[in-house]
């Protein structure tokens, strides 16, 4: 079953306009990357742009959550359900239908098109949302509806603007996967898998915090394609599905070692990161030392380091590009057209890091010998500065050892280095140019651009 196509067709049959995915780097300076299906429609929801003739839309949006307030980078390899790059299926109502219809549509899609067994489905609503609970009771038993607080079930676009309660649909992977309280809905375990978030944009929050009902409430939904594909294919982890397994198999073939779930985090990180890397390159973001290009560089280097753990000693990521392209090209034609150039770019960037990774890892291991709990900020800085180990990469390595890092010292050294660089520009006769660059630096930061993001009343948003 082509779930992407089934979803879009289903909502077209409900009079939705099929809209192509927006770019990963949106025309929106407040966002690092597009991180949700609603992003391309943001200005319609806020009223800046008039509602299109058809007030219903559906899309399959490519998303990246690897920075800013939505950051799943640290989850990759560790949870069964998170990726840095993923596809979000969505349906949207711009002041047209509301709770009643969206719940009916999503139930119909899940039970009649996807044919997921009803006994496996659970839903959550906001604790204040009697209306949504009453509607859900037409479809699911009362004890399958959980009421959760703001952290899980309230959405807002920003500190001001449209906001409202949401309702989420979960799939029960089975009692045998219950490992304790972290497995409850909203938690991080494997039993209850969140598949679909229905957002009811119902209020407008003003600067003083008051919430007023919107005259025409709207709907925004997001369902993770990879999670649904995994469920339909009977895979407990997204990585066990046909969207990822061919990539993992290719890595196995290249290194000549078999993948196993329990010990296979490195394979999963590589399979995840190659997708993010290829899509970003295909859409024109290049490896660089700042901004989005630095996020891309960090992601590739993390993957290379995991390859190193598996035993790779020279570039290998570029060799799995074709496998990814063959999985994705029917939906994303541009990947096929750009594959050759992308492979060259990746190989070059890998080669650059393979030159220093060996010495960097040696330095890291040597430092470990004398590390008790906290790893030296000085050494982390040297790893960064001399060997090209991004800070988050060193942190990823430390996490495996259960150690923390003296980030204060690292930051201090970083600041010193920046000041030295600034001082060096002074009197170089190039102030005008550097002035512009300085403004950019101030706006975007050097190496550490984190991006702004939608805020949510959510535990994960810091
Ligand atoms: P989770 O609680 O699992 O982190 P979320 O609540 O952060 O998910 P939403 O912001 O509600 O996710 O996004 C809507 C849907 O997009 C989710 O229900 C899920 O199916 C999917 N999704 C979100 N983040 C990811 C990710 N990192 N990788 C894959 N799918 C994701
Ligand atoms: Mg999340
Ligand atoms: Mg969630
Ligand atoms: Mg959610």
Here the tokens at position 59 are 């899309």
CATH code (residue 141)? 3.30.930.10
Q: Indicate the residue among 180, 202, 232 that finishes a domain.
A: 232
Same domain, 416 and 346: no
pLDDT for the residue numbered 269: 97
DSSP H helical ranges for 283-332 = 291-310, 321-328
Same domain, 255 and 354: yes
pLDDT for the residue numbered 215: 83
Higher local confidence (pLDDT), 462 or 21: 21
Nearest CA to ligand 1 atom 4: 82
Whether 460 shows a pLDDT value over 90: the answer reads no
pLDDT for the residue numbered 427: 57
pLDDT for the residue numbered 454: 36
Say if 25 falls within a structural domain.
yes
pLDDT digits (tens, 9 = 90+) for 360-398: 999 999 999 999 999 999 999 999 999 999 999 999 999
Lowest mean pLDDT among 128-137, 197-206, 244-253, 422-431: 422-431
Q: What is the position in ligand 1's atom list of the atom closest to the CA of 238?
A: 29
Q: How confident is the model at residue 423 (pLDDT cuts 50, 70, 90)?
A: confident
User: 231 CA to middle of ligand 1, Å?
Assistant: 15
User: 126 CA to middle of ligand 3, Å?
Assistant: 13
Q: Strands of 65-177 (E only): list them.
A: 66-67, 70-71, 85-93, 121-126, 145-148, 154-156, 161-172
What's the number of domains the chain is made of?
3
pLDDT for the residue numbered 68: 79
Within 10 Å of residue 426's Cβ, how many Cβ atoms? Answer: 10
pLDDT for the residue numbered 27: 87
Same domain, 249 and 167: no
Say if 188 falls within a structural domain.
yes
User: 123 CA to middle of ligand 3, Å?
Assistant: 12
Q: Is 21 exposed, middle or buried (0-12, 13-18, 19+ CB in 10 A)?
A: middle
Are the CB atoms for 115 and 136 separated by under 8 Å? Answer: no
* 212 DSSP β-pair partners: 204
Distance CA 239, CA 241 (A): 5
User: 249 CA to middle of ligand 4, Å?
Assistant: 30
Say if 447 falls within a structural domain.
no
Q: Which of 75, 81, 110, 151 to mutate to test the pocket of ligand 1 (most atoms within 8 A of CB)?
A: 81
Say if 454 falls within a structural domain.
no
Whether 418 shows a pLDDT value over 50: the answer reads yes
133 membership: H or E segment, kind and range: helix 130-136
Same domain, 88 and 217: yes
Same domain, 170 and 48: yes
Q: Strands of 29-84 (E only): list them.
A: 56-64, 66-67, 70-71
DSSP state string for 416-442:
HHHHHHHHHHTTSS-HHHHHHHHHHHH
pLDDT for the residue numbered 443: 46
Please state, rounded to an integer, the average pLDDT across all residues of the chain. 90
Q: What is the position in ligand 1's atom list of the atom closest to the CA of 195?
A: 20
Nearest CA to ligand 1 atom 7: 70
Higher local confidence (pLDDT), 321 or 204: 321
pLDDT digits (tens, 9 = 90+) for 261-282: 999 999 999 999 999 999 999 9
pLDDT for the residue numbered 324: 98
Which whole number is the average pLDDT over 93-117? 98
Same domain, 202 and 266: no
Which whole number is the average pLDDT over 52-61? 98
Same domain, 193 and 248: no
Whether 337 shows a pLDDT value over 70: the answer reads yes
CA atoms within 13 A on the CB side of 99: 20
The answer, yes or no, to whether any atom of ligand 1 lies below 6 A from the CB of 223, is: yes
Same domain, 225 and 250: no
Same domain, 395 and 307: no
Same domain, 86 and 223: yes
Whether 457 shows a pLDDT value over 70: the answer reads no
Q: Is 321 exposed, middle or buried (0-12, 13-18, 19+ CB in 10 A)?
A: buried
Lowest mean pLDDT among 24-33, 195-204, 338-347: 24-33
The percent of residues above 90 in pLDDT, for the chain, comes to: 79
Say if 256 falls within a structural domain.
yes
Q: Which of 79, 86, 196 to mutate to test the pocket of ligand 1 (most atoms within 8 A of CB)?
A: 86
Q: Is 192 exposed, middle or buried (0-12, 13-18, 19+ CB in 10 A)?
A: buried
User: 422 CA to middle of ligand 2, Å?
Assistant: 38
The answer, yes or no, to whether any atom of ligand 1 lies below 6 A from the CB of 90, is: no
Distance CA 386, CA 413 (A): 13
Are the CB atoms for 155 and 189 separated by under 8 Å? Answer: no
Same domain, 349 and 382: no
Say if 457 falls within a structural domain.
no
Q: Indicate the residue among 232, 259, 275 that finishes a domain.
A: 232
Whether 198 shows a pLDDT value over 70: the answer reads yes
The answer, yes or no, to whether any atom of ligand 1 lies below 6 A from the CB of 225, is: no
Considering every ligand atom, which ligand is closest to the CA of 63? Answer: 1
Say if 450 falls within a structural domain.
no
Nearest CA to ligand 1 atom 3: 194
pTM over 0.95: no
The answer, yes or no, to whether any atom of ligand 1 lies below 6 A from the CB of 88, is: yes
pLDDT digits (tens, 9 = 90+) for 110-148: 999 999 999 999 999 999 999 999 999 999 999 999 999
- What Rg, from alpha-carbon coordinates, does the chain have? 23
pLDDT for the residue numbered 432: 44
Which residues have C-beta within 8 Å of that of residue 213, sequence separation ≥ 6? 202, 203, 204
Lowest mean pLDDT among 9-18, 206-215, 400-409: 206-215
Helix axis angle for 391-400 and 377-387, nearest 10°, is 130
**Range of the structural domain that residue 269 is part of:** 244-358
pLDDT for the residue numbered 159: 84
Whether 442 shows a pLDDT value over 60: the answer reads no
Which whole number is the average pLDDT over 30-44? 93
Distances (CA, A) of 334 to 67, 115, 272, 328: 25, 32, 19, 10
Q: Could you report how far apart the first and last alpha carbons of the chain are, in Å?
A: 38
pLDDT for the residue numbered 429: 52
Which whole number is the average pLDDT over 201-208? 92
Q: Indicate the residue among 184, 212, 232 that finishes a domain.
A: 232
Which whole number is the average pLDDT over 52-60? 98
pLDDT digits (tens, 9 = 90+) for 147-173: 999 999 999 988 888 899 999 999 999
Distance CA 274, CA 303 (A): 8
Are the CB atoms for 139 and 172 separated by under 8 Å? Answer: no
The answer, yes or no, to whether any atom of ligand 1 lies below 6 A from the CB of 275, is: no
Say if 23 falls within a structural domain.
yes
Whether 458 shows a pLDDT value over 50: the answer reads no
Which whole number is the average pLDDT over 291-301? 96
Buried/exposed 151-176: b ≥16 CB within 10 Å, e otherwise: ebbbbbbbeebbbbbbbbbbbbbeee
Are the CB atoms for 106 and 11 separated by under 8 Å? Answer: no
Question: How large is the greatest C-alpha to C-alpha distance in the chain, in angstroms?
Answer: 74
Here the tokens at position 95 are 């002041």
Q: Which of 82, 182, 225 to mutate to test the pocket of ligand 1 (most atoms within 8 A of CB)?
A: 82
Q: Which of 148, 224, 228, 238 to mutate to test the pocket of ligand 1 (most atoms within 8 A of CB)?
A: 224
Same domain, 341 and 385: no
Residue whose C-alpha is closest to residue 87's, from 152, 22, 138 = 22
Distance CA 404, CA 387 (A): 20
């Amino acid at each position: 079953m082509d779930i992407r196509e089934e979803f879009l067709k289903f909502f077209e049959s409900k009079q939705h306009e099929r809209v192509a995915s927006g770019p990963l780097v949106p025309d929106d300076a407040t966002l690092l990357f597009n991180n949700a299906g609603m992003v391309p429609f943001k200005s319609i929801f806020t009223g800046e742009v008039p509602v299109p003739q058809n007030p219903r839309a559906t899309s399959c949006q490519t998303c990246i959550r690897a920075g800013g307030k939505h950051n799943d980078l640290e989850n990759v390899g560790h949870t069964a359900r998170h990726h840095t790059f993923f596809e979000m299926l969505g349906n949207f109502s711009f002041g047209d239908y509301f709770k009643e219809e969206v719940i009916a549509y999503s139930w119909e899609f899940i039970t009649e098109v996807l044919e997921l067994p009803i006994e496996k489905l659970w839903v959550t609503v906001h604790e204040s949302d009697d209306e949504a609970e009453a509607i859900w009771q037409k479809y699911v038993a009362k004890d399958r509806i959980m009421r959760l607080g703001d952290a899980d079930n309230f959405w807002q676009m920003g500190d001001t603007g449209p906001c409202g309660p949401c309702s989420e649909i979960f799939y029960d992977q089975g009692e045998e996967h219950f490992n304790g309280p972290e497995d409850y809905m909203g938690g991080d375990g494997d039993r209850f898998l969140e598949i679909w978030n229905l957002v009811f944009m119902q209020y407008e929050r003003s600067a003083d915090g008051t919430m007023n009902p919107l005259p025409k409430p709207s709907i925004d939904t997001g369902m993770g394609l990879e999670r649904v594909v995994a469920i339909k294919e009977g895979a407990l982890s997204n990585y066990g599905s046909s969207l990822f397994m061919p990539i993992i198999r290719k890595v196995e073939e290249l290194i000549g070692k078999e993948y196993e779930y329990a010990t296979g985090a490195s394979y999963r990180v590589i399979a995840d990161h190659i997708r993010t890397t290829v899509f970003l390159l295909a859409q024109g973001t290049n490896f660089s030392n700042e901004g989005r290009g630095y996020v891309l560089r960090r992601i590739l280097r993390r993957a290379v380091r995991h390859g190193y753990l598996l035993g790779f000693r020279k570039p290998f990521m570029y060799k799995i590009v074709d496998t990814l392209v063959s999985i994705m090209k029917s939906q994303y034609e541009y990947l096929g057209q750009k594959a050759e150039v992308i492979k060259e770019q990746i190989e070059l960037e890998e080669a650059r890091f393979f030159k220093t990774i060996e010495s960097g890892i040696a330095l890291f291991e040597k430092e470990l010998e004398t590390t008790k709990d906290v790893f030296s900020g000085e050494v982390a800085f040297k790893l960064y500065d001399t060997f090209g180990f991004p800070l988050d990469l060193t942190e990823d390595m430390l996490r495996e050892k259960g150690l923390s890092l003296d980030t204060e010292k690292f930051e201090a050294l970083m600041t010193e280095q920046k000041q030295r660089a600034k001082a060096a520009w002074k009197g170089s006769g190039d102030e005008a140019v550097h002035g512009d660059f300085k403004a950019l630096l101030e706006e975007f930061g050097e190496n550490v651009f984190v991006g702004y993001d939608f805020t949510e009343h959510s535990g994960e948003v810091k």
